Amino acid sequence: MTDNLSPEDRSRCMSNIRSQGMKPERAVRSIVHRAGYRFRLHQRELPGKPDLVLPRHGAVIFVNGCFWHWHPNPACPIAGLPKSNLDYWQPKLARTRDRDREHEAALIDLGWRVLTVWECELRDLEGISQTILAFIEPARETERSVRLGGDQEVPRGTLKRPTGRVPQTAT
């Protein structure tokens, strides 16, 4: 388990998300919020204005529409070039994809960890929730099992985030 919810809670939460037909970004916010994390939205000073920013975890999440951001996965059922006006669409979508990559690289340079959630991945809410929560707090599983294993509490600072640097905001 990578979050605080019981399986029943989680499936109820999932069916709420499904039945409301949420937009991808709202669905991701809901997953993160219900797991008890605090986040900020669209921080302007960060490259690409990430959809969710979790400063305490040094993590940012983009939620990308598969068509507009041209999901590079060949198995994606949504991404693809329109049949007409190829001269218009091909360079337009390619520019967006390039810009996304530049933003991601800039964020990583600033010390952030970056996850991109694609619209089509939200069709498997259970799977993508696990991916998202494991991304936000990769050390949590280890921390919990260490605590349960011994009677002593783990000293603070023993379990570190994988990135060594403290994320900075862009200037």
Q: What are the residues binding Zn ion (CB under 5 A)?
A: 66, 71, 76, 78, 118, 120
Nearest CB to Zn ion, comparing residues 5 and 132: 132
Nearest CB to Zn ion, comparing residues 62 and 118: 118
Alpha carbons 113 and 41: distance in angstroms, whole number: 16
Q: Give me the least distance between CB of 59 and Zn ion, in Å please.
A: 21
Q: Give me the least distance between CB of 66 and Zn ion, in Å please.
A: 3
Alpha carbons 131 and 127: distance in angstroms, whole number: 6
Q: Give me the least distance between CB of 108 and Zn ion, in Å please.
A: 22
Alpha carbons 70 and 92: distance in angstroms, whole number: 10
Contact 28, 51 (CB under 8 A): yes
Alpha carbons 123 and 42: distance in angstroms, whole number: 24
Nearest CB to Zn ion, comparing residues 122 and 136: 122
